[in-house]
Each structure stands twice: as C-alpha cells, then as structure tokens.
Chain A
Amino acid sequence: MIRLWIPLGVILLWALVALLAPVLPLSPNAIDLPHILKPGSLHEGLGYDDLGRPVFDRLLVGAHTSFLVAFAVVSLSLIIGSLLGTIGAYAGGWIDMVLVRVIDVFLAFPGILLAIALAGVMGPGIENVVIALSVVSWVGYARLARAQVLSVKERDHIRAAVAIGIPPPQIIARHLLPLISAPLIVEASFGMASVVIGEAGLSYLGLGVQPPAASWGSMIRDGTRYMLVAPHMVVAPGLALMGVVLSMNLLGDRLRDWLDVKNRSVKETP
C-alpha cells in the first residue's frame, strides 16, 4: 500500500503544482540583488540564486516545464509508436519488415545521445526538446506494441471479427488496442521517468528551455558554478527531480506487478 500511495501522492502533488504554476502568484524571474546566493531559511523559503531569484518559485515553475515536456513527449511517442507497431504487426509483409528495420536502426543509438545531437542542431527551445525526445522515445512503444499485437492477433475473437468483415481500422481500435494497452501503460510510466531525466539533461547541457525560463536541469547547471557558496541552488532542484523520477519508477514497478498478476489469471482461463 505504502509503495503505491506515496509515489502516487508525490507525482499528483507535483503534477498539480505544474498545472497551477502559471496562475500562482510566483515571481520566478524577479531579480532581488540584496538576496543574491542567500541560503534558505524558515522565512525565505529555499533561498535565492545567483541573480537573487527565489529558488522555491523557480522550482515550481520548473515542475511546469518538466511535466509539460514529459506529458507531451510520452503522449506523442505513445500514440505514434503504438500506432506504427500495431499497423506493422497487423499488416505483416513488407510493411512489417520495413518497420522492424527502422526500429533496429533507432535502437542502435544509445539512450539520449540522438536527442542531444538533434536538440543541439535544432537549437534550444521547449518545442525542440519535445521533438528531439519524441524522435528517440517512439521506438520503445512501437516495438512493444508490435510484439503484443503479434501475440494476440491470432486469437479467436479477432479471427471472428475478420471473418464477419469488420474493416481493419475498426478491428485494431475496438478489438486489438484494448488488449495490448496494459503493457503500454506500464511502459509509459517508466517512459515518464526517462523523459523527465531527458529534459533535465538537455537543459543541463544548455540545450533545453531558454533563459530566463526555469527548468530543474538548467537550475542544476546554474547552481554548479556556485556550489561552494550556495549549495542550495543545486540541492533543491536535484532533490525534486530525484523524488519525481523515483516515484515514477516505483509506480511503474507497482503497475507492472499489478498488471502482470492480471495477465497471468487471463492466461490461465482459456
């Protein structure tokens, strides 16, 4: 129970903050010279950064960046990836062969490297971050969806649907996608974690959001230059980032256990 509710709570809390950040009375870019590099205290929240901007406010606005990118990238790549994977596996033949080759090529790039190169060439900006990370992430969903469809497409109800002449798009939407959604959801929750790290990583390298906009990654980057005098600048966004990523991974773990159990009982009843 604890392993489910605590991470879920952490994620929901940050998601709420991310959603409300644009309307909350925050001043993430207000420069307050007397407070430069001042550490946090009970009265002053989490302290101030190298330009005298409040770290707490920037942290909340950073959550907005983080969740916005994560949501956009995961939905984009989930939709594109599972659509392509499903079509490939369902159609078979040369369409599937081309898809498998393309997936193989994309998987030949280690992790975030391609995203770094793409974001670097396209230039900084939140849209480019979303594009770069989506180009990298769709492959995982496509591969998973393809494998899932291959394993269920010979089931009786699908054959029955084909036999009575239901058009393929409808079969895919009504009879295939619901069956393969569970593993895709689990994948998406791990995907959230890696996109959050990915966005922060790009921003850390200076390839993410443009200053003065706040991202947890760019806050860490700014903070590393003042670590000896103002460690709070690095510690605060790092802890927030770790908390969110850890919660997303934990939630993914729980979802996987939970959905696996269900899958097993489905398999046992023929």
Chain B
Amino acid sequence: MFIRFLISRVLTALAVVFGVVCLVFFLLHLVPGDPVEVMLGESARPADRAALQQALGLDLPLHVQFGHYLANLSQFDLGTSFYSKRPIRDLLLERLPATVELGMAALLVALLLAIPLGILAAVKKETAWDIGATGVALFGVSIPNFWMGPMLILVGALWLGWFPVSGREGIASLVLPALTLGTALAAILSRMIRSALLEVLNEDFMRTARGKGLAERTVILRHGLRNALLPVITLVGLQLGALLSGAVITETVFSWPGIGSLVVEAIHRRDYPVVQATVLCISVSYVALNVLTDLAYARIDPRVRLGSRP
C-alpha cells in the first residue's frame, strides 16, 4: 500500500516538475524584454547584435530552443552563465551550502521560539498570555524580511556591535540572518503547536498522567507535547518551501552568498540563464520537499494513504 502511494506521489511530482520546466522556460522567454539589447545597449551595431544572438542560440525558433534546453536538462546541464561564462551547475553547487546552512539555522530559531510560545498559548488558553502570544505571532508574520533584517543590523550590528553587518564568516554572522528568516516561520509554527496541543490536552492519557500524580510540567512536556508535535513536525516540511523564497530577500539583505542572492545578482546582471536555472532549482527542491513531507506523513499516519487523498 505504501509503495503504491509512493509511486503515484512521485509520478505526480514528476509531472509537476515538467510543468515547472515548461512554465519557467516560456514565461521567461515570452515576456517583453530582449536580453541581447539589454546586454549590448540600444546603440549596438546590428552585426554585433546578430552575432551575440547566434552565440546565445536566441536566433533559433522558440520550440527548437526549448528542445535543446530539455535535452541539456536531461543531462543535468543547466547552461552557461552569460556573465561569468562558467557552467551554472557549478555556480549553484558553490552557493548551495550557504543556503542550506541558513535554512537549517532559521528552522532551529523558529522551533526555539515557536515551541515555548505555542505551549504558553495553549496551556494558558484565553488568558492574557494567549492573547499576547497571538499578538507576537501576528507581528511575526507581518514584519517583512527586508525590514526585519535592516532593523536587526541596526541594533545587533551597528549599535551593540555583537554581530557582523553582513557576509558569511563564522557562527556570529549566521545569527542575524537566521533570526530574520526564522521569525515568520516561528509565528506560523507557534499557532500550529498551540492548536495541536489544545487537541491533546483533554485526551484520556493526559488525565491519567495527572491522575498518577505527575508534575504538570512533566504532563505537558512528556505526554502532551510529544503527541502534539507529531503532526507539527511533518507540517514543518511544507513550510520549508516558504523558507526558500524568504531566503531570496534575506540573503540579499545580509549579502549572504547563497542561492537566493544568486538569483537577485543574476537579475541585476541580466544573466537570464542563471535566473532561469536558479528559479528552476528552487522550485524543484520545493516540489521535492512537499513530496518528502507527504511520504513522511503517510509513513507515520496510515490514515493519509488509506484515506480519500488523490
């Protein structure tokens, strides 16, 4: 049963990935804006323009270009950067560790903030604590990364001088970007933890745990949270995709040398193959994360694969 679910889920994901490949290619090729003109300027000689067009393969009909693109993709060849003239695959692999590191750190920050906040809100339900935690969560999702980041730089780096302003050198440089990226996720997770915990708080095993005289703290942490976290942990997977897109702006704010800042640099340099490849790469990882989350969930909770899910 699980194998069948796995196969059908992976096949659907592959179809979506193919759709993503098509969409990225055609959207970026059909929107107005001629890369050759942008690269050479309006006053370029027609001969130069034609030469560059030919060198980039942009003189071929669109469907032929798409065919070449697909053929290259099937060999994991993402093309060559206009700007650095290097294979894009190498550029991406170079930048990947920084993004993974930032993502992991942001996830850690999110969990460290969300778990206490969620517990507090659930245990003290409908008191000032709960309302306060709700307020903090609302602030968390309403502060954009590109403002949160500069504010943290202002306080943590410029005024207090505890952390570097930007760049990636040592653990200290990771703190502010991770806080910036993790806050919104923390806000969402704290709400999830609250509702998941509220659901288990009145279960029989909780009453039993209290009945046998365990301390309230042990009851909540060992019996309540453990059961509540199961669905939450799998939902974290779905939110990791949001982290990926948040990373684009956060990495730019902190000049963090990851994949997110690569997209923005490539856009400003009009390096279209890099933009295309990076968007594709992030979207495919997003699809993969979603599939993994689904599978993990189905593995843990059999109702998912036996139920009416497509």
Contact = CB atoms under 8 A, between A and B. Distances in A.
Same complex for A and B? Answer yes
The size bracket of the interface on A is 35 or more
A102 B27 CA distance: 13
A246 interface: yes
A259 interface: no
Given A116-B263, A206-B268, A249-B142, A238 B282 contact: no
Interface residues of B, number: 50
Given A110-B241, A110-B286, A242-B142, A122 B252 contact: no
Contacts of B145: 201
A227 B24 CA distance: 37
Interface stretch (B117-125, B147-155, B218-226): B147-155
Nearest to A110: B245
Contacts of B253: 224
Contacts of B290: 108
B52 interface: no
A105 B272 contact: no
Contact of B154 (A116, A118, A231): A231
B33 to A, nearest CB: 5
A245 interface: yes
Contacts of B279: 109, 113-114, 117
B151 A101 contact: no
Contact of A224 (B139, B143, B150): B150
B294 to A, nearest CB: 13
Nearest to A234: B150
A207 B22 CA distance: 24
Interface string A107-147: 01111111011101111000000000001000000000000
Interface in B213-252: 241-242, 244-246, 248-249, 252
A104 B17 CA distance: 10
A246 B245 CA distance: 21
Nearest to A217: B146
Interface in A55-114: 101-102, 104-106, 108-114
Contacts of B264: 116, 120, 205
Contacts of A223: 150
Contacts of B282: 110, 113
Question: Which A-B residue pairs are the 9 nearest by beta carbons?
Answer: A120-B267, A105-B19, A111-B245, A110-B245, A238-B147, A246-B142, A204-B146, A110-B241, A245-B142
Interface of B: 12, 15-17, 19-20, 22-24, 27-28, 31-33, 138-139, 141-147, 150-151, 153-154, 158, 241-242, 244-246, 248-249, 252-253, 263-264, 267-268, 272, 275-276, 279, 282-283, 286-287, 290
Given A110-B244, A238-B147, 4 more contacts: A109-B279, A227-B154, A242-B142, A253-B138
